[in-house]
Structure 1
Amino acid sequence: MLKINLLPVRQLKRMAKARKEIALGICIFIVLLAILAAVGFRQVQKISSLHNKQQQLTAEKASYDATLRKIEKLKKAKQELARKAEVIDKLRADASLTVRLIDEVANRIDNKRMWLTSMQQQGSSLKLSGVALDNQTIAQFMDKLKESPFVTGVTLSSSSLKVISGKSLKSYQLACSVAYPVAEKQENPRVQ
């Protein structure tokens, strides 16, 4: 006898296959969602960690900014002190130069034939005024000044006849440049 199967086997197989595919698709979708959730969670943790690190670095930078400002203040103070020390050294050198100039002029003047009425030093220029018996005495004094290592470029600014106590004398004005000799500057760069 013949048996006839009236059940739709093919349809049932197709439906079972479709259910398996849908279940597999749902499983894949759930696994994919779990992976995306894990990656998202990890990214949120990284962002949070980086944000915390950024705040920490910003705070650290702020503390370094205060230190940098102190360093800049100290650098400016150091420059100011160096400038003041340089000014003090220059003043000491100028004072020493003035003393030596007075000594040079005193040693080179013929005090029996001439005398000074004024001596003015401003920076590297020196002006001498005085009275002499004659022009030859003035010329000799100029030559002696030129021999000085501290005096250069001696010029006669003016010379005129002046009557003092009934005697005709020569009034003169000299201009010259003054500086330390080069060899002395190298030996004593800082005058104490």
Structure 2
Amino acid sequence: MIRINLLPHREAKRKQKQAAFIAMLVLGGLLGASVVLAVGGWNASRIAIQEQRNTVLKTENAELDKKIKDIATLKEEINALKSRQQAVEDLQGDRNQPVYLFDELVRQAPDGVYLKGFEQDGQRVVLNGYAQSQERVAELLRNLSGNSPWLERPELTEVKSAVLTQDKIARKAVEFTLAVAIKRAREADETDVLGKASTTVAGSAAGAQP
């Protein structure tokens, strides 16, 4: 017996395929949305963690900046205290400068040189005097520039011929004006230490020679 199906089976299969396709599309969309949400959530969590780290770093940087400013302020205060201490020490040392000045002028002035006056302005002293000759003035300059632990950098500002009268006898002389710097006590000590060190090194080198 032959059976004949008169139902629209092709249309039914077509609808079935369309329904399956739509279901797959919906499933794919749901999967895609799930993946997007998962990736977005992961990225959001990572961004939140990084923002927390950035906040911590900013806080630490702010604290470091504050500490650096405190250190800089402390250094400025230390330098100011050192400057004040140095000023006090220099002031105490300057009290003895006239004594050192007179002593050095007596020591360094060669025979034939007569000092008639001087004027001190800070660490600079202007000397006026007479000498038997210009060679005596040159000798005085050499003594002040190299032999004195307290005086340095002499500068001859004026030299001219003069006539001195003593016991009604007129004698030719040289009148001079020079400026010289007077060292502070700490500077003189440093010069003395360096001079001793140089002498020791030179002595050692001379002793090492065959």
TM-score scaled to structure 2, two decimals? 0.60
Deviation, structure 1 residue 142: 3.1
Change (3 A) 1:185 1:85: farther
Deviation, structure 1 residue 30: 0.7
Do structure 1's residue 119 and structure 2's residue 127 form an aligned pair?
Answer: no
- 2:177 maps to 174
Deviation, structure 1 residue 93: 8.7
> What is the DSSP-based 3-state SS (H/G/I as helix, E as strand, rest coil) of the residue aligned with 2:7?
coil
Q: Of 165, 186, 194, which residue of structure 2 is paired with 1:186?
A: 194
Is the 8 Å Cα contact of residues 117 and 127 (structure 2) preserved in structure 1? yes
- 1:145 maps to 140
Q: Deviations over 1:49-101 (max 9, x none)?
A: 22222222221111111011112223434555666677778889988886555
> What is the DSSP-based 3-state SS (H/G/I as helix, E as strand, rest coil) of the residue aligned with 1:118?
strand
- 1:54 maps to 54
Structure 2 counterparts to residues 1-192 of structure 1, below 5 A: 1-80=1-80, 99-107=99-107, 108=109, 116-122=115-121, 126-130=125-129, 136=132, 142=137, 145-146=140-141, 148=143, 149-150=147-148, 157-158=159-160, 160-161=162-163, 172-175=175-178, 177=180, 184=192, 186-187=194-195
* Structure 1, 9-18 or 121-130: larger mean CA deviation: 121-130
Q: Deviations over 1:16-51 (max 9, x none)?
A: 222112111111111111111111111222222222
**Gapped regions of structure 1 (runs ≥ 5):** none
Deviation, structure 1 residue 157: 2.9
TM-score scaled to structure 1, two decimals? 0.64
Change (3 A) 1:153 1:22: closer
- 2:200 maps to none
Is the 8 Å Cα contact of residues 113 and 137 (structure 2) preserved in structure 1? no
**Gapped regions of structure 2 (runs ≥ 5):** 198-210
CA distance in structure 1 between the aligned counterparts of 2:64 and 2:140, rounded to whole angstroms? 62
CA distance in structure 2 between the aligned counterparts of 1:139 and 1:147, rounded to whole angstroms? 12
Change (3 A) 1:159 1:91: farther
Is the 8 Å Cα contact of residues 156 and 178 (structure 2) preserved in structure 1? yes
Change (3 A) 1:122 1:186: farther
Is the 8 Å Cα contact of residues 116 and 128 (structure 1) preserved in structure 2? yes
Question: 2:42 corresponds to which letter in structure 1?
Answer: R
Alpha-carbon RMSD: 4.4
CA distance in structure 1 between the aligned counterparts of 2:31 and 2:74, rounded to whole angstroms? 63
Is the 8 Å Cα contact of residues 126 and 177 (structure 2) preserved in structure 1? yes
Is the 8 Å Cα contact of residues 113 and 136 (structure 2) preserved in structure 1? no
Question: 2:195 corresponds to which letter in structure 1?
Answer: E
Change (3 A) 1:167 1:76: same
